[in-house]
Amino acid sequence: HAKADGRGTFRFFEPDMDEQLQARRALEVDLRKAMTNGEFELYYQPQINIQRSEIGGFEALLRWHHPERGLVPPAEFIPVIEDTGLISPLGDWIIEQACREASTWPGEMRVAVNLSPIQFRNRGLVQSVSNALASSGLPPHRLELEITETVLLQDNEMTVSTLHQLRRLGVRIAMDDFGTGYSSLSYLRSFPFDKIKIDQSFVREMSQRADCLAIVQSVANLGASLGMPTVAEGIETEDQLRQVQAAGCTDAQGYYFGRPKPARELVHTLDALKNKVRVA
Ligand code: C2E
Ligand code: MG
Ligand code: MG
Ligand code: MG
């Protein structure tokens, strides 16, 4: 079928849409197989307390080892997982795996796990978290759950009530990608978060744009007055680190300290990381 676009020419829509639909179906089939074949893995990226110069913990980031395509970035497949109902079993696996791996880490190091808005529509979320803590033996205060502002966009009352139930388990709740939502400040009013993570887009442009630097400074001040630690995301250079330190951010995360790595590689990088953190 062809459709006139109003200027006397014709454009063909369907082949394109067909291709998209087919690619999407293939991705869905691959994702279902990925679950049963164990193709998912959690990578971990350090989060540094830059006031005390110590490793606060690691954020778990999902990776998919596709048998043909290799490593697929989460932005490409998480939206599909959210649409297909796969997020429920996979989300539970992520929480369990992160707790299990973190329970072997030394000291008080925390693990941060990202939660999708869809997981909040599932009534089993609190139970899943509680089960993961029980079976791994990880003390609840060493688990931090990261949610984005979009979680609070939908069904605010139920979401906030779920957040309170999670908090009662003893876990910490962090606001991720802060500043990118429609009404960032009002989200801070809906729930007393334990931590604010300043979106990396502000950090990235901070050195060229005075407004971005001003936003980072303001959020750091806001966090200080609300008694919430503030994490600067996406720190890639020493200059950026100095700037967010001066701005008053309490924590930092980014390639400067380390890229996300598989759990088994963490122990080999811990000494190098500690040295980097010491001089930070
Ligand atoms: P996020 O939670 O904001 O995670 C931070 C992202 O920034 C990660 O991308 C990380 O690799 C990347 N990053 C860290 N430091 C730097 C840096 O210095 N420079 C740059 N350019 N990037 C940096 P990743 O792993 O591709 O994840 C992207 C997003 O996918 C995450 O954003 C999160 O929203 C989502 N995601 C990842 N893992 C999970 C998961 O297990 N569950 C859910 N629901 N979402 C996840
Ligand atoms: Mg995150
Ligand atoms: Mg983030
Ligand atoms: Mg993000």
- What is the complex's ipTM, to 2 decimals? 0.98
Ligand number with the minimum distance to the CA of 177? 3
Ligand number with the minimum distance to the CA of 146? 2
Per-residue pLDDT of 218-253, as tens digits, reads: 999 999 999 999 999 999 999 999 999 999 999 999
Ligand 1 atom index nearest CA of 235: 18
What's the rounded Cα separation, in Å, for the pair 243 and 138? Answer: 35
Q: pTM, whole model, 2 decimals? A: 0.93
Look up tokens 């802060």; give the residue.
Answer: 178
Ligand 1 in contact with 117 (CB < 6 A)?
Answer: no
Q: Closest Cα to residue 242, out of 230, 229, 256? A: 256
Residues 6+ apart with CB under 8 A from 60: 42, 43, 44, 94, 97, 98, 101, 111, 112, 113, 114
Cα dihedral sign, 182-86-72-266 = positive
148 C-alpha vs ligand 4 centroid, how far in Å?
A: 8
Instruction: Tabulate helix, strand, coil % of the chain (nearest 5).
Output: 50, 20, 25
176 C-alpha vs ligand 3 centroid, how far in Å?
A: 5
Of 114, 121, 239, best ligand 1 pocket probe by most atoms within 8 Å of the beta carbon: 114
Element (H, E) at 114: strand 110-114
Ligand 1 in contact with 136 (CB < 6 A)?
Answer: no
Ligand 1 in contact with 234 (CB < 6 A)?
Answer: yes
* pLDDT at residue number 17: 77
Ligand 1 in contact with 74 (CB < 6 A)?
Answer: yes
Q: Closest Cα to residue 229, out of 183, 175, 177? A: 175
Ligand number with the minimum distance to the CA of 197? 3
| Cα three-residue angle 43-49-51, rounded to 5 degrees | 165
Q: Are the beta carbons of 15 and 69 closer than 8 angstroms?
A: no
Spell out the per-residue pLDDT of the chain, length 280, in tens: 444 445 555 555 566 778 888 988 999 999 999 999 999 999 999 999 999 999 999 999 999 999 999 999 999 999 999 998 899 899 999 999 999 999 999 899 999 999 999 999 888 999 999 999 999 999 999 999 999 988 888 778 899 999 999 999 999 999 999 998 877 888 898 899 999 999 999 999 998 999 999 999 999 999 999 999 999 999 999 999 999 999 999 999 999 999 999 999 998 888 889 888 887 7
Query: By three-state DSSP, how is residue 149 classified?
Result: helix
Q: How far is CA 255 from CA 82, 105, 109, 200, 261, in A?
A: 27, 21, 19, 11, 11
Nearest C-alpha to atom 46 of ligand 1 is from which residue? 114
Ligand 1 in contact with 114 (CB < 6 A)?
Answer: yes
Residues 17-44 as b or e (16 or more Cβ within 10 Å = b): eeeeeeeeeebbebbeebeeeebbebbb
Ligand 1 in contact with 61 (CB < 6 A)?
Answer: yes
